[in-house]
């Protein structure tokens, strides 16, 4: 099963072990600098006076992601901060606030969030929520991403084909991403899943 989430929706979500211990909460999202995929999370402690933890949570150590919590097997699932050296920190890293342009130079708007496709075996950044530059457009729009993305200075460059697949509703956005990527002749948004042992 696949669920589309805004990266910002994961912030402050509790991290809980399978034994039921509430061990941390999500502080920030870390993206892989090479692929743009979700690499993991930095963490805050639990409680009013708890601050940032020295430990992080790599995505590969997440057991499950539910509407109320991020599940891990046990405390051994946490790693030190060096696990993310060189990766991009923040809800989209350096992506938030960047301008989105098409190859032909059309300004689509500014990124306000990253849309993640969360599956049992993988998570992929599949689109951006943007504040459109066209003030007559809906207040927010969802722009699909190809498997690889061009970056030029402060702008993210998308194929002109992306214009056909912009949506203003997250509910139908997953199908638009799949069709967009299929049109580009690349694999669909989701890697094939192996059955759970």
* Per-residue CA distances from 168 to 49, 84, 98 (Å): 39, 33, 19
Instruction: Identify the structural domains of the chain with CATH numbers, from first to last.
Output: 9-89 (2.30.30.240), 96-183 (2.30.30.240)
Question: pLDDT at position 55, please?
Answer: 92
pLDDT at 83: 73
Can you give the length of the chain in residues? 197
Most confident of 35-39, 121-125, 140-144: 140-144
Q: How far apart are CA 101 and CA 44, in angstroms?
A: 35
Q: What is the largest distance, in Å, between two alpha-carbon atoms of the chain?
A: 53
191: pLDDT strictly greater than 50: no
Given a cut of 50, whether residue 197 has pLDDT beyond it is no
The per-residue pLDDT for 41 is 87
Query: Is pLDDT at 156 greater than 60 in this prediction?
Result: yes
Q: Which residue has the higher pLDDT, 99 or 67?
A: 99
- Bridge partners (DSSP) listed for residue 25: 14, 44
What's the half-sphere exposure (Cβ side, CA atoms, 13 Å) at 76?
2
Average pLDDT over residues 66-87: 83
Reply yes or no on whether the pLDDT at 150 is more than 60: no
**Residue 142 clears pLDDT 50, i.e. is over it:** yes
Q: What is the mean pLDDT of the chain?
A: 80
pLDDT attached to residue 9: 87
pLDDT in tens, 87-120: 544 444 457 788 889 999 999 999 888 888 877 7
Q: Is the pLDDT of residue 38 over 80?
A: no
Average pLDDT over residues 12-31: 91
Asked if the model's pLDDT at residue 196 lies above 90, the reply is no
Q: Residue 30 class from Cβ within 10 Å (0-12 exposed, 13-18 middle, 19+ buried)?
A: buried
Closest to 158 in 3D by CA, of 115, 108, 113, 124:
108
């Amino acid at each position: 099963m696949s669920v589309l989430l805004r990266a910002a929706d994961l912030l402050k979500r509790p991290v809980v072990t399978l034994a039921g211990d509430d061990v941390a909460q999500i502080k920030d999202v870390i993206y892989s600098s090479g692929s743009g995929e979700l690499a993991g999370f930095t963490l805050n402690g639990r409680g009013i006076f708890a601050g940032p933890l020295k430990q992080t949570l790599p995505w590969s150590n997440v057991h499950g992601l539910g509407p109320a919590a991020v599940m891990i097997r046990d405390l051994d699932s946490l790693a030190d901060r060096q696990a993310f050296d060189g990766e991009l920190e923040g809800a989209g890293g350096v992506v938030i606030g960047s301008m989105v342009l098409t190859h032909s130079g059309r300004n689509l708007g500014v990124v306000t969030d990253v849309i993640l496709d969360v599956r049992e075996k993988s998570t992929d950044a599949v689109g951006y929520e943007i504040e459109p530059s066209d003030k007559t457009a809906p207040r927010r729009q969802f722009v699909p991403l190809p498997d690889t993305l061009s970056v030029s200075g402060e702008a993210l460059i998308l194929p002109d084909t992306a214009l056909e697949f912009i949506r203003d509703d997250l509910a139908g956005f997953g199908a638009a991403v799949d069709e967009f990527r299929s049109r580009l002749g690349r694999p669909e948004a989701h890697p094939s899943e192996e059955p759970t042992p």
